[in-house]
Amino acid sequence: MGENIVQEKSYKFALKVIKLYKFFADKKKENDLSKQILRSGTSIGANVEEGIGGITKNDFINIFYIAHKEARGTNYWIRLLADSGYITQIDGKSLLSDCYELIKLKGKIISTAKKNRN
């Protein structure tokens, strides 16, 4: 990948989410919660990619808002999985740390893009 840090971090986070999903499917035989986090956790990077290709500055901002919202939703699912014992607190903290970093990055990108919109 290139030097776009949010693109790279979103992609690596999606890989971690896919591994978590595979763990749930193979070891825990759980599908409902794992599909939720798979959808939200992988859509962050997909929306980042789409936003980077946005036609206008407003398009870019709107799509990054969606990526930001997906990261917030993923944050919820990770907390729920850790607090319910589906994943360990240690794994939960690691994923939450990565997810929170993505939330902060997207927030800064959106704020900067809004300031430079005109």
Contact 56, 97 (CB under 8 A): no
Helical spans, DSSP H, in the chain: 5-23, 32-52, 57-83, 89-115
With contact defined as beta carbons under 8 Å apart, do 21 and 37 qualify?
yes
Quick: pLDDT tens for 44-91.
999 999 999 989 999 999 999 999 999 999 999 999 999 999 888 999
> Which domains, ranges and CATH numbers included, belong to the chain?
5-115 (1.20.1440.60)
Say which range, 4-8, 85-89, 104-108, has the weakest mean pLDDT: 85-89
Q: How far apart are CA 108 and CA 115, in angstroms?
A: 11
